[in-house]
Amino acid sequence: MTTTLDSLPAQSPARTEEQARVFDLKLDDVRTLNQAIHEASDGESFAVEHPGGKHSLAVGINAAIDVEINGHAGYYSAGMNQGGRVTIVGNAGVGVAENMMSGTVHVTGDASQSAGATAHGGLLVIDGNAAARCGISMKGVDIVVGGSIGHMSAFMAQAGRLVVCGDAGDALGDSIYEARIYVKGKVASLGADCIAKEMRPEHLVELGELLRAAGRDDDPADFTRYGSARTLYNFHVDNSSAY
């Protein structure tokens, strides 16, 4: 089921150093950071300094907390997020926000492969570019990419919305189900069963809301919508009597 913007947690006020609990990963280890995050209550804030590209930062959040990672993050950062707001002030490695359920994850730089993979809900914002397989098997997440995305993005995407303000690589939306894709720039090629679709008024409204939620002012009318031609489905209504 596609996540609506109204279902996302309200953003908390900007944190200050006095309010946040600070972890310096030159001194603290990732296990200690994640344990503290898992034990946190709604409204708490955390600052992560000198992340140094370490993997699995801020995974498994299960409360309405704020986490700011000041530097580059490694693989699977902010994975399995449920209700938190995570900001990565830098680039993110493979699988950022993988299997996210709700909340927001904001990457101010670029993201590597498989950003938002299998994510069920929430909002993932990537200000820069995302590499291959962005949104692979997405199941309800909303993803807004300020730059371009790599090949095989939205492969087997089941639900949710992927917004690309730059270009898209080869095989976009291959074997897509009911997810919606909006691309402002050029698409190198479409994958199996993915086609361009009419941009109706409700899609312009939907896209405008997503862009605003990501802090962008792009014109929704500049985008093209892509989705499933539904020719790969096993079930077809014309054959219902045969089942």
pLDDT of 19 reads: 84
pLDDT of 237 reads: 60
For residue 96, give both structure tokens: 């950022």
CA distance 37 to 80: 13
| Sheet with 159-164, edge to edge strand ranges | 21-24, 45-49, 66-70, 85-88, 104-107, 123-126, 139-145, 159-164, 180-183, 224-228, 194-197
Contacts of 152 (CB under 8 A, 6+ apart): 132, 133, 136, 169, 170, 171, 174, 191
Q: What does pTM read for this prediction?
A: 0.89
First to last CA, the chain: 26
43, HSE (Cβ side, Cα atoms, 13 Å): 0
Q: pLDDT tens track of the chain, all 243 residues?
A: 334 443 343 343 344 445 899 999 999 999 999 999 999 999 999 999 999 999 999 999 999 999 999 999 999 999 999 999 999 999 999 999 999 999 999 999 999 999 999 999 999 999 999 999 999 999 999 999 999 999 999 999 999 999 999 999 999 999 999 999 999 999 999 999 999 999 999 999 999 999 999 999 999 999 999 999 998 876 566 765 665
CA distance 119 to 230: 22
For residue 30, give both structure tokens: 């990732």
Q: What are phi and psi of 78, to 5 degrees?
A: 60, 25
Burial of 114 (0-12, 13-18, 19+ CB in 10 A): buried
Identify the CA nearest to 220 among candidates 243, 202, 238: 202
DSSP state of 130: B
Cα dist. 97→77, 82, 126 in Å? Answer: 6, 10, 11
pLDDT of 242 reads: 62
pLDDT of 4 reads: 43
Find the radius of gyration of the CA atoms of the chain: 18
| Cα-to-chain-centroid distance, residue 241 | 40
The dotted CATH code for 5-230 is 2.160.20.60
Residue spans of the domains in the chain: they are 5-230
CA distance 77 to 116: 10
Contact present, 172 and 153 (Cβ < 8 Å):
yes
